[in-house]
Structure formats: structure tokens, C-alpha cells
Structure 1
Amino acid sequence: MTETSSDDGRTFQRETERVVNEIAQGLRTLDDGANWFSGLAPRRRLEVLQEVTGYAMQAHITAADGHAGVARSGVKPTANPSVMICMDPPRYGFAGLPAAEHVKAFRVLVSVFAVADTRRRKTYCKGACGHAWHNLPAAAKQP
């Protein structure tokens, strides 16, 4: 994937939105997403962490979502991003973590978002969802 973006960054945001939602819906593996994230420039990684943090907040994650997401993430429960997301209320300063923890933070954030978003798709959006990102076609699956 490329890192090209429009002047306002919207193209990149759409790519991030697509990647994160594909992971959340099982159309892309978390490892594939982490590889995509790892290939980004450091500045873009910070932007992605901030964007995914926004998704998690919009999904109204709970402490239970945090624990379930950390279990799926492959990140130790004692790692900073894991501890932060499992607090009640969650702490969202992931972009402020040292660069060495950004991939862990991405894995945790996306995993927790996937748990919360799946719950919301099964409850709030069940049968009447107009959110385009909740209805990604299976053909969008990435290698």
C-alpha cells in the first residue's frame, strides 16, 4: 500500500479507516494490519494512533472490551497500551507513548475497537445499519 495522500490527508484517513474496519470485520488479519502500520513513516503512525483512538471512543469501549481486546491483540496485559485501555475510564494518550510501543498500541487499539464495534453492530446497528464501514464487502479482503 502506498502512503500517498491528498493535501488535506483525507486519502490517508480513508485508507486507515478501511484497514481498521477490515481488521474489525475479519477481512484482514491483525498481523497484516500491524505490518501495514509498521511500514508507515513515524509521523503517519502517530496520525493513525490518534485516528484509531477516535474510532475506539466513538465505539464507546468499555473496560470489558478493553480486556477482551487485549486478549486478542497478542500484547502482554502488563504493557503500557494494555494497561491504559483497560482503565476505567480508558486512557487514550497512545500517541504520547515512546515510538517503540506504537505497534503494540496499534494492535491493542484495533483489537479493542474490533470488540466494541462488533458488539455495536450486533446491537445498535442490527438490521438497520446505514454505516458504510459496517458493511464492507468480502471482496475487499486484502492479502
Structure 2
Amino acid sequence: MTEASSEDGRVVRRETEQVVNEIAQGLRTLDDGAAWFSGLSPAGRQDALREAGGYAMQAHITVADGRTGVARSEVKATANPSVMICMDPPRSGFANLPADEHVKAFRVLVSVFAVADTRRREMYCKGTCGHAWHHLPTAVEQP
């Protein structure tokens, strides 16, 4: 069995950033993102969960964002990832959940991030934002 190299980890982080932001901006569906996530190695899924969790926390999610995101995620409100994200303050450690909860955790994290990031883009970044991840090309603009 081989371990993932640090280069593999960087690739997963870059892909995760792209996929999560595409979902948040409506350029990719949550189902497509979950399919991408499911295709990662177990270590890759854990890395992606750490990244997505970091993005959600960096977006300063609120309990209301958590509830709205969980509803959008199509994950039961009683599932571990749903409960964790709706706590005040939200819990982290999604990558430490059992492997059979990783897809649920990804769906919850990305959905909650999408809610919080949309709110922040509309309130703080509208027309003045220099964040590259807020200016992804639409499908028509991509080569």
C-alpha cells in the first residue's frame, strides 16, 4: 500500500477549493460535487473534509446558516454532521467521523458554506471583491 504524497494532498486541496466554490456559486450541483468527493481515496476524502470545514469556518457560519445548509444538503437533521454544524459554536472534526458518514459530512459542509459565502458575497464583496474564488468563470467562459 502506498501513501499519498504531499503533491497529492496539494492537488486535492486545489480541487476541493474549486469544487466547493463552484457548488457555492451554482456552477456545479451538490450531487456532482458529492460524486467527485466519492471518487477520492479515503485519505483524499479526509483532506477534502478538512478543507471544506476550514472554508465553512472561515465564512463565519452562523447557526441559521447551519440549519439552512442542512436543509439544502438533503442529509437528515439528526445525522452526526448535521448536528455538529448546527451547534453554537459549530463543531469541527468532520474528517474524524466514520468513513460511512463522509459523504454526508461533505454535503453538509458544502451546503452550509454555500449559504454563508453567498451571504458574505452579497453583504461585503458586492462589486468590490478581489477574492479570486468569488470570480469563477461560468461554464460558458471556461475553455
What is aligned with 2:11?
11
Maintained 8 Å contact 2:84/2:90 = yes
Consecutive unaligned residues in structure 2, runs of 5 or more = none
Quote the offset at 1:141 in angstroms: 8.7
Give me the TM-score of the superposition, normalised by structure 1: 0.91
**Alpha-carbon contact 2:9-2:47 (below 8 Å) kept:** no
Q: How is 1:118-129 mapped onto 2 (pairs within 5 angstroms)?
A: 118-129=118-129
Q: What residue identity is the alignment partner of 1:10?
A: R
Which residue does the alignment assign to 1:87?
87
Cα distance, 1:6 vs structure 2: 6.6
CA contact (8 A) 1:38 1:103 kept: yes
The farther-off stretch of 12-21 and 106-115 is: 12-21
**Aligned residues of 2:12 and 2:47 also touching (Cα < 8 A):** no
Within 5 Å, which residues of 2 pair with 1:35-50?
35-50=35-50
For residue 10 of structure 1, report the CA deviation from its aligned partner: 2.4
**What is the DSSP-based 3-state SS (H/G/I as helix, E as strand, rest coil) of the residue aligned with 1:137?**
coil
SS of the counterpart of 1:124?
A: helix
Q: Distance in 2 between matches of 1:96 and 1:113?
A: 19
Q: Deviations over 1:51-92 (max 9, x none)?
A: 111101110000000000000000000000000000000011
Cα distance, 1:140 vs. partner? 7.0
Partners in 1 of 2:80 and 2:141 — Cα distance?
Answer: 31
Q: Over residues 18-72 of structure 1, what are the superposed CA-to-partner deviations in whole Å (9 max), with x where a residue is unaligned?
A: 0000000000000000000001100000000001111011100000000000000
**Identity percentage of aligned residues:** 78
- Counterpart amino acid of 2:92? Y
- Supply the RMSD in Å over aligned alpha carbons: 1.9
Is the contact made by 1:20 and 1:110 (CA closer than 8 Å) also made in structure 2? yes
Residue 99 of structure 1 corresponds to 99
Post-superposition, which runs of at least 4 consecutive aligned residues in structure 1 deviate over 6 A?
none
Q: Give the TM-score normalised by structure 2.
A: 0.91
State the distance in 1 between where 2:140 and 2:89 align. 34
Partner of 2:64: 64
Aligned residue pair count: 139
Report the Cα offset of residue 12 of structure 1: 2.4
In structure 1, the gaps of 5 or more residues are none
How big is the shift at 1:8? Answer: 6.7
Equivalent AA in structure 1 for residue 84 of structure 2? M
Partner residue, 1:24 = 24
